[in-house]
């Protein structure tokens, strides 16, 4: 089945640091990838849709300048949390659609971000 790889799994860093998270589709081309944020014991909240070769589409309330998304190739999307603060601490998870009505969104394993 389709595999999505997300890196890193864990990040702990100081306030003010920028953090980059990578999401790769390993065995299929992903024109579109999705970035979610999840707080403990809550559902996934869609932050943005990442489109290869064009600007990302952000959901209402998500700061574009805080969460920079780049989708430079058909297999790689990156999310950069700029000047991170403790309130940005969360679980971030990416996904991609593979072709077909019966295909689920395939998820990376997620990144736990802790800002001290």
Partner 1 sequence: AQKITQTQPGMFVQEKEAVTLDCTYDTSDQSYGLFWYKQPSSGEMIFLIYQGSYDEQNATEGRYSLNFQKARKSANLVISASQLGDSAMYFCAMREGPWNNFNKFYFGSGTKLNVKP
Residues that bind partner 1 (CB under 8 A): 31-32, 34, 41-44, 46, 49, 51, 91, 93, 95, 97, 99-107, 109-110, 112
Least distance from partner 1 to the Cβ atom of residue 88, Å: 17
Alpha-carbon distance of 67 to 90, in angstroms, equals 13
Other CB atoms within 10 A of residue 29 CB: 12
* Nearer CB in complex with partner 1: 71/78: 71
Residues forming beta bridges with residue 49, ordered by sequence position: 34, 57
* Nearer CB in complex with partner 1: 27/83: 27
In which residue are the tokens 């990376």 written? 108
* Nearer CB in complex with partner 1: 14/53: 53
Alpha-carbon distance of 71 to 56, in angstroms, equals 8
Least distance from partner 1 to the Cβ atom of residue 16, Å: 26
């Amino acid at each position: 089945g389709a595999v999505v790889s997300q890196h890193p799994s864990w990040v702990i860093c100081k306030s003010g640091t920028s953090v980059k998270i990578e999401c790769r589709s390993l065995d299929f081309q992903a024109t579109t990838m999705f970035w979610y944020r999840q707080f403990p014991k809550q559902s996934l909240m869609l932050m943005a849709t990442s489109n290869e070769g064009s600007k990302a589409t952000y959901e209402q309330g998500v700061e574009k300048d805080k969460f920079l998304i780049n989708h430079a190739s058909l297999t790689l999307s990156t999310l950069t949390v700029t000047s991170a603060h403790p309130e940005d601490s969360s679980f971030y998870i990416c996904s991609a659609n593979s072709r077909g009505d019966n295909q689920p969104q395939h998820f990376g394993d997620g990144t736990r971000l802790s800002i001290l």
